[in-house]
Amino acid sequence: MTRTYGHYCPVAHALEVVGDRWSLLIVRDLLNKPQRFSDLLRYSSSITPKWLMLRLRKLEEAGVIEREKRQDRREVWYKLTSAGYDLRPVVEALLAWGLRYAIRPPLPGEVVRPELAVDTLVASLNKRGRGLSQPATWLLHFTPGSSYTLSFINGRWSAREGEEDNPDVTVRTSPEAWATFLAVKRSECSKIAQTMLIDGTPERIEEFLHTFGVQADEGLRDTGTAIRVK
């Protein structure tokens, strides 16, 4: 039975559909592309299969998501309906609010998904208008595993999974260190930067660090490429 707030209000009615724990996070993960049950289970990390199935079933009954069984694949895929995609501004507003009022470093044992850490960075840079004086390509290589390419072109930041040839800056770090780097105060960023391996020309590395309020050492300009910031 659907739990209600017991009074007539569109906000209350909307929360009766998507206000349960995990529901909007499921919508968040489906905004990019359809996902399998196993994908959603992995992304949500601490949700149980039972609770995920219950949430999916409720969202499906509400017309927010739908199942799709592709002819060339045996798995069932979940995707958003038009009503589900109309929740994009809600998710984006929560992201913006979280960046402004609720950002914090990851807690011990908290799962950090690299793609979400990258999306958070892109949203933050575009929201704050943190542009550069020239086009740029940054490669974030997370250990272990995946790589993401960030690009600044025509005044906007964007990101995609995968590597780009000849990036201006390459950063090798863990997802946890990267999330911490984005969340701590500017005065603490330099300490986190010391744990990263940052490759590129001195000018480009200085440009990268300056974007996050970190001042590069004066000697950086003369040391060449493949620089570890210390």
Q: Which residues contact 23 (CB under 8 A, 6 or more apart)?
A: 17, 55, 58, 59
Distance CA 27, CA 25 (A): 5
- Give yes or no: residues 113 and 73 share one domain: no
In-domain check, residue 139: yes
In-domain check, residue 143: yes
Task: Quickly tell me which residue has 């969202």 as its tokens.
Answer: 59
Interval 64-73: pLDDT, tens: 999 987 766 6
Interval 111-168: pLDDT, tens: 888 888 898 899 889 988 899 999 999 999 998 778 999 999 999 999 999 998 899 9
In-domain check, residue 145: yes
Mean pLDDT of the chain: 87
DSSP letter string, 56-83: HHHHHHTTSEEEEE-TT-SSEEEEE-HH
In-domain check, residue 124: yes
* Beta strand extents in 13-69 (DSSP E only): 35-36, 65-69
Residue 114: HSE in the Cβ half-sphere, 13 Å Cα cutoff? 20
Q: Are 41 and 76 in contact (CB under 8 A)?
A: no
Q: State which residues form the domain around 194.
A: 106-228
Distance CA 60, CA 225 (A): 52
Domain count, the chain: 2
